[in-house]
């Protein structure tokens, strides 16, 4: 019995069929796939109704049009990835998610209310550092695609970049006793280096899904494991960071005392500020250590494989241009970027919204915890829904779930309890955003390979991240500029002008709602639905079957 682990391409080639009838079935694979090695488009692959023989593939069969019919079978136990492999792969997502979550929820508060960086400087830091991060992605993509190591193509990048990620993340949450200009330079450098080194880890980690298995079901399992760990990292980050700050006696009420607030700027940390520095550095130190440990765990417990399907060599620039002209990828990237921006818009100003619009400085951990717990539960739900109705439809429905949350936020006098309802609706969008794009991207790559005979996996993931990062960098800068224009001043604490409240309400409600509608429109025009995805997997199975 053969299984999808051993794989190949079968062209609808009349030469193959005629020679088979003549009794010469053992045609060299180099002859069968000579066309695929050239720059000309590969032959068209055809899918037909299959014949079942006890669910196994045990023979060739041809229909009246001389087309090979192959029945894919379930992967044998030897083809399935072990639970240890899946856990090792997914574990790296835990500290990564914790880092992103703490940054998303706390960085605005930390820089504006604790480090006392001006909103203009804050906007420049967040925008420019992410822009630099995005511009370094093509360089990373080139290195990922051109260099292989004795330990594999992706694993070494994850292992060797983790110490640098840990160091930069720790530095991000320190409180240097320097001038405001010095703080700007310090946090700008820390941000830029952190996102750059994260690129060297994150892109290889997500691309590793394609290199660990050739079976799409197993790839979906890897994606599910990773998203569960990342969702767990979200929950753990809120509980852990809040617990550490509470243990150090840090409360948000320091901003209520304008005298203390003014004394926190440009002086040696003492008293309350010393507690703040100790709390953030302790939290950052633990997460940084976890980043290193999980990368070691992954490195020693996963193994990369090589697909047997022959593909044409493609230069980085040529592959870059071909992918930028590939419509399904562009649509999927646009939909994903819009979905990320919608949820990021809410995450980045949620605490400011609660502090300055709802006038509540104690509910944030509970509201964020409700959002994350709901997301973890809904990950299982959407994994089931995805198998029932397909990934594209699931993504569409998940996007639309954000609209009720937006409506609740826009109601100015909505009671605090309704925010928890909004969190549950929004959790559907977050859960789908975690699973669907990353489960759909490998199918998009496979479709590209069938159409072009090329498979530049690293470039696909690089461009996928690049689009998201550039959009996030631009949006983060615009958020800070909007706060600055509205008159936000960290030293005013709870005495912000009404224009700040209006700006925060729009950033929490109207803006993410509009962006999510744009994401949904993009998904509507995405051509690789569930039926097409199954056709792609059938074609790939036939190709790999013949190659073996």
CATH number of the domain to which 372 belongs:
1.20.1250.20
- Name the band, by pLDDT with cuts 50, 70 and 90, for residue 371: confident
- Name the band, by pLDDT with cuts 50, 70 and 90, for residue 274: low
Residue 299 predicted with pLDDT over 90: yes
The number of residues in the chain equals 548
For residue 359, the tally of other CB atoms under 10 A from its CB is 9
- Name the band, by pLDDT with cuts 50, 70 and 90, for residue 43: very low
Question: What is the tally of structural domains in the chain?
Answer: 1
Assess if residue 122 is contained within a domain. Answer: yes
What DSSP element (H or E) covers 241? helix 216-247
Give 155's contacts (C-beta < 8 A, 6+ positions apart).
149, 204, 208, 298, 299, 302, 304
Cβ atoms 362, 528 nearer than 8 A: no
Assess if residue 134 is contained within a domain. Answer: yes
**What share of the chain has pLDDT > 90, as a percent?**
16
Residue 470 predicted with pLDDT over 90: no
In eight-state DSSP terms, residue 453 is S
Give the pLDDT of residue 259.
39
Assess if residue 49 is contained within a domain. Answer: no
Residue 459 predicted with pLDDT over 60: yes
Chain CA centroid to CA 43, Å = 34
For residue 316, the tally of other CB atoms under 10 A from its CB is 18
Residue 397 predicted with pLDDT over 50: yes
The Cα-based distances of 346 to 39, 334, 388 in angstroms read 46, 19, 30
pLDDT tens digits, one per residue of 182-225: 888 899 999 889 988 988 888 888 888 888 888 878 888 888 88
What DSSP element (H or E) covers 483? helix 457-486
Residue 56 predicted with pLDDT over 60: no
Give the range with max mean pLDDT: 107-121, 325-339, 422-436: 325-339
CA angle at 205 for the pair 438 and 283, rounded to the nearest 5°? 105
Cβ atoms 374, 415 nearer than 8 A: no
Mean pLDDT in residue range 333-360: 84
Give the pLDDT of residue 280.
85
CA angle at 380 for the pair 537 and 539, rounded to the nearest 5°? 0
> Cα dihedral angle (343, 349, 355, 358), rounded to 10 degrees?
-50
Return the structure tokens found at 167: 């160091």
φ and ψ of 119, to 5 deg: -55, -35
The Cα-based distances of 36 to 61, 449, 451 in angstroms read 23, 10, 10
For residue 333, the tally of other CB atoms under 10 A from its CB is 23
Lowest mean pLDDT, pick from 146-155, 401-410, 530-539: 146-155
Q: Which residue has the higher pLDDT, 149 or 445?
A: 445
Cβ atoms 48, 67 nearer than 8 A: yes
Assess if residue 297 is contained within a domain. Answer: yes
Among residues 1, 20, 3, the alpha carbon closest in space to that of 67 is found at 20
Whole-number Å distance between alpha carbons of 326 and 101: 32
Assess if residue 361 is contained within a domain. Answer: yes
Residue 29 predicted with pLDDT over 50: no
Give the pLDDT of residue 395.
93
Mean pLDDT in residue range 293-300: 94
Tokens 């480090």 sit on residue: 115
Q: What is the DSSP string of 251-286?
A: -GGGGG-HHHHHHTSSS---HHHHHHHHHHHHHHHH
Assess if residue 324 is contained within a domain. Answer: yes
Average pLDDT, the chain: 76
Mean pLDDT in residue range 77-89: 81
Assess if residue 32 is contained within a domain. Answer: no
Three-state secondary structure call for residue 371:
helix
pLDDT tens digits, one per residue of 145-190: 777 777 888 889 999 999 999 999 999 998 888 888 888 889 999 9
Mean pLDDT in residue range 112-123: 80
Residue 30 predicted with pLDDT over 60: no
Residue 55 predicted with pLDDT over 70: no
Give the pLDDT of residue 288.
93
Assess if residue 215 is contained within a domain. Answer: yes
Range of the domain at 207: 83-539
Lowest mean pLDDT, pick from 121-125, 282-286, 399-403, 436-440: 121-125
The Cα-based distances of 314 to 46, 323, 330, 454, 464 in angstroms read 25, 11, 20, 7, 18
């Amino acid at each position: 019995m053969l299984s999808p682990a051993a794989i190949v391409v079968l062209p609808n080639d009349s030469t193959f069929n005629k020679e088979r009838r003549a009794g010469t079935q053992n045609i060299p694979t180099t002859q069968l796939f000579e066309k695929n090695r050239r720059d000309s488009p590969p032959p068209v692959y055809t899918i037909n109704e299959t014949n079942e023989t006890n669910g196994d593939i045990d023979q060739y069969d041809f229909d009246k049009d001389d087309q090979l019919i192959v029945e894919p079978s379930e992967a044998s136990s030897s083809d399935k990835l072990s639970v240890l492999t899946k856990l090792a792969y997914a574990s790296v997502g835990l500290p990564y998610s914790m880092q992103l979550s703490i940054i998303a929820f706390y960085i605005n508060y930390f820089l504006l209310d604790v480090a006392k960086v001006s909103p203009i400087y804050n906007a420049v830091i967040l925008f420019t550092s992410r822009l630099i991060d995005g511009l370094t992605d093509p360089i990373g993509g080139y290195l990922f695609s051109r260099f292989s190591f004795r330990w594999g193509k992706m694993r070494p990048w994850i292992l060797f970049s983790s110490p640098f990620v840990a160091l930069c993340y720790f530095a991000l949450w320190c409180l240097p006793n320097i001038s405001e200009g010095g703080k700007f330079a310090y946090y700008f450098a820390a941000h830029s280096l952190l996102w750059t080194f994260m690129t060297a880890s994150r892109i290889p980690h997500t691309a590793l899904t394609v290199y660990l298995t050739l079976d799409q079901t197993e790839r979906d399992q890897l994606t599910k494991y990773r998203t569960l760990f990342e969702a767990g990292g979200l929950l753990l980050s809120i509980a852990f960071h809040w617990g550490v700050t509470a243990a150090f006696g840090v409360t948000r009420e320091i901003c209520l005392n304008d005298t203390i607030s003014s004394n926190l700027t440009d002086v040696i940390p003492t008293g309350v500020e010393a507690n703040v520095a100790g709390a953030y550095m302790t939290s950052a130190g633990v997460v940084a250590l976890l980043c290193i440990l999980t990368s070691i765990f992954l490195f020693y417990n996963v193994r990369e494989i090589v697909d047997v399907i022959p593909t044409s060599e493609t230069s980085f620039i040529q592959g870059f241009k071909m992918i930028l002209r590939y419509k399904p990828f562009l649509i999927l990237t646009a939909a994903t970027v819009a979905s990320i921006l919608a949820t990021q818009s809410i995450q980045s100003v949620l605490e400011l919204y609660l502090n300055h619009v709802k006038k509540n400085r104690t509910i944030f951990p509970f509201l964020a915890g409700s959002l994350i717990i709901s997301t973890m539960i809904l990950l299982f739900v959407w994994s089931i829904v995805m198998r029932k109705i397909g990934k594209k439809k699931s993504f569409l429905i998940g996007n639309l779930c954000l609209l009720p949350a937006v409506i609740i936020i826009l109601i100015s006098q909505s009671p605090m309890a309704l925010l928890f309802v909004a969190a549950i609706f929004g959790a559907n969008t977050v859960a789908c955003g975690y699973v669907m794009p990353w489960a759909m991207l490998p199918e998009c790559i496979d479709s590209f390979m069938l159409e072009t005979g090329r498979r530049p996996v690293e470039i696909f993931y690089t461009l996928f991240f690049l689009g998201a990062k550039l959009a996030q960098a631009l949006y983060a800068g615009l958020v800070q500029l909007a706060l600055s224009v509205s008159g936000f001043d960290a030293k005013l604490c709870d005495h912000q002008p009404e224009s700040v409240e209006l700006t925060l309400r729009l950033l929490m409600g109207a803006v993410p709602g509009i962006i999510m509608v744009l994401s949904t429109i993009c998904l509507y025009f995405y051509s690789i639905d569930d039926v097409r995805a199954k056709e792609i997997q059938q074609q790939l199975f036939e190709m790999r079957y013949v190659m073996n």
